């Protein structure tokens, strides 16, 4: 395995991880910010109030983007397996 191949595997792994995690993180941040603004305006300071909307929104993102996430992770895995077969030749 050459140094360039290793760097491409690392880059591809980090890129795939960010692509898979980004929708969940973005939705959690946006929902958390929205709930925090509502809490600040209504002066309701319940710490557990942000948990349920975040949980529901993250679950919705998982249901909506589940097929795309599975396709992205499968593609990454197939690329890794293809690289492994090319190393042994």
pLDDT at 89: 62
pLDDT digits (tens), the chain, 89 positions: 688 888 999 999 999 999 999 999 999 999 999 998 998 898 887 878 889 999 999 999 999 999 999 999 999 999 999 988 887 76
Residue 58 CB contacts under 8 Å (≥ 6 apart), including other chains: 24, 27, 28
Q: Is 46 helix (H, G, I), strand (E, B) or coil?
A: coil
pTM recorded for the entire structure: 0.81
């Amino acid at each position: 395995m050459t140094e360039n191949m290793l760097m491409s595997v690392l880059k591809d792994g980090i890129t795939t991880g960010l692509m898979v995690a980004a929708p969940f993180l973005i939705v959690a941040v946006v929902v958390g910010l929205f709930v925090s603004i509502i809490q600040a305006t209504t002066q309701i300071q319940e710490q557990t109030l942000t948990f349920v909307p975040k949980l529901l929104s993250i679950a919705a993102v998982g249901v909506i983007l589940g097929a795309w996430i599975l396709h992205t992770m499968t593609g990454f895995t197939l690329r890794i397996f293809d690289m492994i077969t090319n190393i042994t030749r």
